[in-house]
Amino acid sequence: MLAPIPIIKFLIDPFTVLGILLFVAIGAAVCKRERLLKWSVIATGIWFIIISTPLIPTLVTRSLEHRYTPVDIADIHDPNAEYHIIILGGGHGFDERLPANSLLSRRALGRLIEGVRLHRQLPNSKLVLSGFSASGQKTQAEMLQETALLLGVQKKATLLQVEPANTYEEAKIYVSNYGTGHPVIIITSAVHMPRAMKTFNAFGVDAIASPTNYRLKGNRKSRWIGLPALSHVEKLSISTSEYAGIWWYHFKYLKFL
């Protein structure tokens, strides 16, 4: 049975809504429904402006990304504690010609670099590398570990979770393997961090967030007016998808914990 969440994400995606409006406008033109054509063209134009200019995409993305800030080691009460720095999976590919760091997605590589930054400042910490493989080849966790070793991390300082396919499973399997006794830092993309923290908290993990891969930074944080651009649509698409994920996690998983 197809999981509802991909369907929900598809239906609320700004590209999907734009496509539906265009389809209605074309249908109205073919059927010579002048009133419907007029209003569908107006709706399409308004929707295009909403999703492709900075205001709405920035507001929606900002509402997710600005809930947490990256960890400042000066704020860590006991830097010598054995922190578990959990790096959530972010995707990878396969190509025998390339080293592991070139096979990680930009999202995964950004998360790993943030983890290595903290690991080098927390001498007794361990990197918990997480993620499965949909293809049956090398897992995300193993690919992250290979890249971490290339960056100078000792193998004994890494722990692997090769089973999880999503954030819920990452939290569940972590607690099953290691319990809730270690101080934990969660690393994931800033837009995904609210869902990740909510999920780990639901399993009793009192985690610290250290988001990365910000889409709004520098002057982009306060850019409210501008010309239409595909990058704005992309930000809105990712953010609305994340809100759908938060809703689905609450409905399917978290309310039962």
CATH value at residue 115 = 3.40.50.620
The number of C-alpha atoms within 13 Å of 30 and in the hemisphere containing its C-beta is 6
User: Is the Cβ–Cβ distance between 88 and 127 less than 8 Å?
Assistant: no
Domain-embedded: residue 95: yes
CA distance 232 to 51: 7
Domain-embedded: residue 23: yes
Can you give the pLDDT at residue 221? 62
> 3-state DSSP call for residue 68?
coil
Do 13 and 42 reside in the same domain of the chain? yes
- Give the chain's mean pLDDT: 90
Task: Give the whole-number percent of the chain exceeding pLDDT 70.
Answer: 94
Do 204 and 240 reside in the same domain of the chain? no
Q: Tens of pLDDT along 16-39?
A: 999 999 999 999 999 989 999 999
Identity of residue 102: S
Domain-embedded: residue 178: yes
CA distance 46 to 41: 9
Domain-embedded: residue 220: no
Q: pTM to 2 decimals?
A: 0.87
Give how many domains the chain has, as a whole number: 2
Q: Tens of pLDDT along 84-104?
A: 999 998 888 887 888 888 889
Instruction: Please give the residue range of the domain that contains residue 9.
Output: 4-52+227-256
Mean pLDDT of the 47-71 span: 94
Do 78 and 138 reside in the same domain of the chain? yes
Domain-embedded: residue 67: no
Domain-embedded: residue 143: yes
Q: What is the 3-state secondary structure (H, E, C) of 159-171?
A: EEECCCCCHHHHH
Do 17 and 126 reside in the same domain of the chain? no
Do 139 and 199 reside in the same domain of the chain? yes
- Predicted confidence band at 106 (pLDDT cuts at 50, 70, 90)? very high
- Predicted confidence band at 4 (pLDDT cuts at 50, 70, 90)? low
| CA dist list (Å): 237 to 36, 100, 183 | 27, 29, 34
User: Is the Cβ–Cβ distance between 50 and 28 less than 8 Å?
Assistant: no
- Does residue 1 carry a pLDDT above 60? no
Do 141 and 96 reside in the same domain of the chain? yes
Do 18 and 95 reside in the same domain of the chain? no
Mean pLDDT of the 226-235 span: 90
Mean pLDDT of the 183-196 span: 96
* Beta-sheet pairing, 158-161 with 126-130: parallel
Do 95 and 183 reside in the same domain of the chain? yes
- Does residue 255 carry a pLDDT above 70? no
Do 12 and 109 reside in the same domain of the chain? no
Do 86 and 197 reside in the same domain of the chain? yes
Mean pLDDT of the 117-144 span: 92
Q: What share of the chain is helix, strand, coil (3-state, %, to 5)?
A: 55, 10, 35
Other C-beta atoms within 10 Å of 35: how many? Answer: 8
- Does residue 157 carry a pLDDT above 90? yes
Candidate from 43-57, 84-98, 185-199, 243-257 with smallest mean pLDDT: 243-257
Domain-embedded: residue 10: yes
Do 136 and 198 reside in the same domain of the chain? yes
Can you give the pLDDT at residue 250? 81
The conformation of residue 71, written as its DSSP 8-state character, comes to P
> 3-state DSSP call for residue 227?
coil
Domain-embedded: residue 68: no
CA distance 56 to 232: 9
Do 201 and 89 reside in the same domain of the chain? yes
Pick from 236, 215, 254: nearest CA to 9: 236
